[in-house]
Structure 1
Amino acid sequence: MNEFKSAVAFWKKAPVNHTIILLNILIFILVEITGSCEDVRHMLRWGAAGTLDIAQDHEYYRLITAMFLHFSLQHLGNNMLVLLFIGDCLERNLGKVRYALIYFLGGAGANLLSVFHEVYVNEYVVSAGASGGVFAAIGGLLYVVVRNKGHIENFTSRQLLILAFLSLYHGLTSTGVNNMAHLGGLVLGFLFALLFYHRRKSSIPVR
C-alpha cells in the first residue's frame, strides 16, 4: 500500500512527462512485438519520419508520431533517462500545459527543420526518436535556470550547457544521428520557454 501511494505521489509530480515516458516504452514494446525496430519499413508503418512521406505526401502527422519511436533499446533508454530528470524539473516549474507545449511543439518543430534541411541537401532519410522533444526540454530548462540566476532545484546553467554540448558533440561524431533535430529542438525549446515562462515574484511582507 505504501509503495502504491509512493508511486502515485511520484506520478503526480510530473504527470505529463511520466505519461510521455510510459507511452514511449509501451510503443517500443508494441513495435518489437509486431516486428523489429531495426526494420525501416516496419518503423515507417508505425509513423517514423520519412523525408519523402512528409515533404511529398504531406503526411505531417509523422512529425509527432516519430517522437514516440526508437531504433533500439539503447536509443530509447538514453532519451528516456535524460527526459526523466530534465522533463520532470521543467514540468514542475512550467506547469502541465506549458510543458506539453514546449515538448511537442519543440519536438515537432525540430523534426520539421530536419525535413527542410534534408530536402535542401538532397538527403532523404527515415528518422525517429524523442530527441527533438528531449532537446526542447533541455533548451526550455536552460532558459528557466538562466531566469532564476543560474540555478533551480538541482540544476545549474553550467550543468545544462555541458549536457547540451556533450549531447550535440556525441551526435556530430556519431553516424545515423539527426543533428539538425537536436540543434533545432534545443533552440526552439529555449525560445518557447521565453514565451511561456514567467518567473514568480517573491512576495515582500508589508510592515
Structure 2
Amino acid sequence: MEEVRKEPVTAALVVINIAVFLLVEFTGFSQDIEHMIKWGAVYPPLITEKGEIYRLFTSMFLHFGIEHLLNNMLVLFVLGSRLERVIGKWRFLFIYLAGGLLGNIISLIADLSKNSYAVSAGASGAVFGVMGAMIFVVLRNKGHLEDLSIKQILIMAVFSLYFGFASTGVDNAAHLGGLISGFILAAIAGQPRRRI
C-alpha cells in the first residue's frame, strides 16, 4: 500500500483505464469498431469534418481487447511508477497526457497525409510518452535510475517499436510520436523533484 501512495497518478491511470475497458465491455464489445467509435475512438473524418477533437483525448483510455489493455497497463505500471517517484505526480501526469495527445495528433497528421483512415485507440501513445521521458531522465542521471539502466530502457523501447512495426493494425505513428514527445516534454518540464 505504501508504494501505491507514492505513485497515486500511475495507480489512478491504471484503474481508470481498466474501469473504462469494463464499461465498454459491459455496454458492447471492445473489438467492435462502431462501438469503439461511439465511446470516443479516433476516426480522422470525425475530427476533421465534424470537429470532434475530444477523440484525441478520449481514445487514450480505450483499448481493443483485454490483451491490448494488459500490455499497456503493464508497461505503464513498470515505468510510470518509477518516473512518477522521480519527477512528481503533476509533472508525470502532464507528460502522460501531453505525450498521448501529441502522439495522437502526429498519428492523425500521418493518416491524413496518406489518406488512410483507420479507427485507433489505446494508451500506447501516452505509454510511449512515459518511455521517452524515462529515456531522458535515465540519460540525465548518468545512465541509471533505481534498478533500470539506459541499456534496459533502450532495449525495451526498440523491442516495443519493433513489435509494433512487425504487427498489423498497430498505430506506429502514435508510438513514435509519443516516444519523441515524451523525451522532449521531460527535457522541458520533467526535472526531478529531488536528487536522483
TM-score band, normalised by the shorter chain? over 0.9
Whether 1:30 and 2:23 are equivalent positions in the alignment is: yes
Partner of 1:160: 153
Per-residue Cα deviation, 1:157-184 (whole angstroms, up to 9, x for no partner): 1111100100000010100000000000
Greater C-alpha Rg: 1
Amino acid at match of 2:89: K
Structure 2 residue runs of 5 or longer lacking an equivalent are none
Distance, in Å, in 2 between the alignment partners of 1:17 and 1:117 is 29
| Percent of aligned positions that are identical | 47
Deviation at 1:51, TM superposition (A): 1.1
Partner of 1:17: 10
Q: Is the 8 A contact 2:92 2:190 kept in 1?
A: no
Deviation at 1:199, TM superposition (A): 4.8
Per-residue Cα deviation, 1:52-72 (whole angstroms, up to 9, x for no partner): 111221211111110100001
Distance, in Å, in 2 between the alignment partners of 1:133 and 1:105 is 8
**TM-score of the superposition, structure 1-length normalised?**
0.91
Distance, in Å, in 2 between the alignment partners of 1:23 and 1:176 is 24
Aligned pairs for 1:16-95 (under 5 A) are 16-95=9-88
Q: Is the 8 A contact 1:55 1:115 kept in 2?
A: no
RMSD: 1.2
Amino acid at match of 1:151: H
- Select the residue among 106, 109, 114 that pairs with 2:107: 114
Deviation at 1:10, TM superposition (A): 2.7
Distance, in Å, in 1 between the alignment partners of 2:101 and 2:193 is 29
Q: Is the 8 A contact 2:125 2:174 kept in 1?
A: yes
Q: Is the 8 A contact 2:86 2:193 kept in 1?
A: no
Amino acid at match of 2:77: L
Whether 1:129 and 2:122 are equivalent positions in the alignment is: yes
Partner of 2:163: 170
Tell me the number of residue pairs that the alignment of Structure 1 and Structure 2 aligns. Answer: 195
